[in-house]
Structure 1
Amino acid sequence: MENPTWHADPLTWGHGPRTFEVFLEPTCPFSVKAFNKLDELLALVGEDRVTVKVRLQSQPWHMFSGVIVRCILAASTLPEGKHAAKAVMDAVARHREAFEFTHHAGGPNLDATPNDIIARIEQYSGVNLAQAFAIPDLDKAVKWHCKYARQNGIHVSPTFMVDGLVQGAISSGDTVAEWARHLA
């Protein structure tokens, strides 16, 4: 079996013994709310006390979800690795209307192509990822995220896990301090 010439950098920040995993769909407003709290969580709890892992949870009712998830993972293969991927996630979060359909089924994005979406992400993030998007077997990284979520019984975003256990009591609407209490 041939080794790939690329590596998808894990979307992991911090290096503490407690693990906080968050399953996100990049254009979901609730996932965006959760994503925007992750840096604050790391700062509050401490990078030496918690490891934050972002897992991508593509959802078909967010029509460009698969394309955007692939863009994030493509960015993670670049020399900047997870930092490039985070820049892509941040750009999508800040401009989510540019990537989402009106009421999940209409609006101006009906005329958008995957190439339009890639170009928008590049423009908003400053990350040149079109070439990485075309990595033939990048779908292995996409499938890993999907398989990992399914193995853990996760079907929607955002979903949270602490130390490998799904935490139904945690939501994107909670404060960062409330999240931190689950890690104490």
Structure 2
Amino acid sequence: MAFPPRFKGHRILSIEASSTSTDEPLHTLEFYLDYVCPFSAKLFKTLTKSVIPYIRANPQLASRVQFIFRQQIQPWHPSSTLVHEAALAVQRLAPDHFWSFSAVLFEHQANYFDEKVVNEPRNATYARLAKLAAGAVPGLNEHEIYKLLEIKEAGAEGPKNQGNAVTNDVKTIVKMARLVGVHVTPTVVFNGVVAGEISSSWTEEQWAEWLEKNIV
């Protein structure tokens, strides 16, 4: 699927940014992940700690594949939307840190599970997420993040149900997922086709075997 340029932080090349190669990767791995899904967290950790380093260390693979993080909001966990909005706010202000902030969100995901937010006002959750982002991303201002997330109280004209400053980005990522029919998290898509055999429990060895067969 086409990739909106404004979400550039979601894309990461398997080659290092300092590489002089100008060739586009031949293969694309897309990962549909939800920040409050434990299985998504498990896959993301394996991806960033094992799979990407393995590919970058292998010259035959490194220039041939790119990765795209696809945000997949799971609405049966209401906080999922809020956490994904925080990631979209970071993507807007500091796109180069999107993946690193995603790692922080997964690390702290239990703080946003249903039981942790059930009695918390929405803006209070946003405030916690803004503070987390500011502590994780160098130079990021907590108040600037919060401004993108905050829901304003109704004025004299009454409520307008307009959402916040990243609502339109939420609409876009939801539409993209609906167009390909993704439901379960995590879901891995390889070159436009769901790779149902890939599991969040895969080891580095299983990933290496799969990559050697498919990245050609």
Show the counterpart of 1:72: 87
- Residues 49/177 of structure 1: CA separation in 2 closer, same or farther (3 Å cut): farther
Deviation per residue, 1:19-52 (Å, 9 max, x gap): 1100001010001111112222221112523211
RMSD: 2.1
1:146 to 150, 174, 183: 174
Are residue 55 (structure 1) and residue 70 (structure 2) matched?
yes
Contact 1:8 1:74 in 2 (8 A): no
Provide the secondary structure at the position in 1 that maps to 2:118.
helix
TM-score by structure 2 length?
0.71
CA separation in 1, counterparts of 2:126 and 2:63?
35
Bigger radius of gyration: 2
Show the counterpart of 1:171: 199
Answer with 116-125 or 25-34: which moved more: 116-125
1:45 alignment partner AA: I
CA separation in 2, counterparts of 1:116 and 1:34?
29
Structure 1 segment 2-151 matched on structure 2, within 5 A: 7-14=6-13, 16-39=25-48, 40-46=50-56, 47-78=62-93, 80-83=94-97, 85-101=98-114, 107-125=115-133, 126=135, 127=137, 128=142, 129-133=145-149, 138-151=166-179
| Aligned pairs, number | 171
Greater helix percent: which structure?
2
Give the % identical residues. Answer: 28
CA separation in 1, counterparts of 2:84 and 2:112?
12
Unaligned runs of at least 5 residues, structure 1? 1-6, 102-106
CA separation in 1, counterparts of 2:66 and 2:30?
8
CA separation in 1, counterparts of 2:96 and 2:149?
15
TM-score by structure 1 length?
0.82
- Residues 113/89 of structure 1: CA separation in 2 closer, same or farther (3 Å cut): farther
> How far is the alpha carbon of 1:171 from its aligned partner?
1.2
Deviation per residue, 1:70-119 (Å, 9 max, x gap): 111111000x2141x33432222111111001xxxxx3421112222222
